Amino acid sequence: MTTMSYRIESTHPIVGPLITGINETALYIADRAMAVVLAAKSYTLPFGKEIRVVHVPSGEVVFRKTAACSDTALLA
């Protein structure tokens, strides 16, 4: 059985083309590379809030991003 060692988290709902579900603020993933890719391709609602990938056993933040701007027209 695989443990989910990485958590994609935000204080706001995370959405994106590779994430299913609505109003999720935390997603658990087993693979570090996959967690970083999902976080990098995602955004928050409202747009521009921080998304982090955390290694669950150690609590280390391995990836962090915020949007460069808050113009939602860029999402179209």
Q: Which helix (H) or strand (E) holds 32?
A: helix 32-40
> What is the structure's pLDDT at 46?
87
Residue 27 phi, psi (nearest 5) = -130, 140
Q: What percent of the chain is modeled with pLDDT above 90?
A: 62
Q: From CA 49, how far away is CA 66, in angstroms rounded? A: 6
> What is the structure's pLDDT at 23?
77
- Collect the ranges in the chain with pLDDT lower than 50: 1, 70-76
Residue 71 phi, psi (nearest 5) = -85, 105
Contact 60, 36 (CB under 8 A): no
Q: From CA 75, how far away is CA 2, in angstroms rounded? A: 34
Tokens at 32, concatenated: 């570090």
> What is the structure's pLDDT at 6?
97
> What is the structure's pLDDT at 1?
45
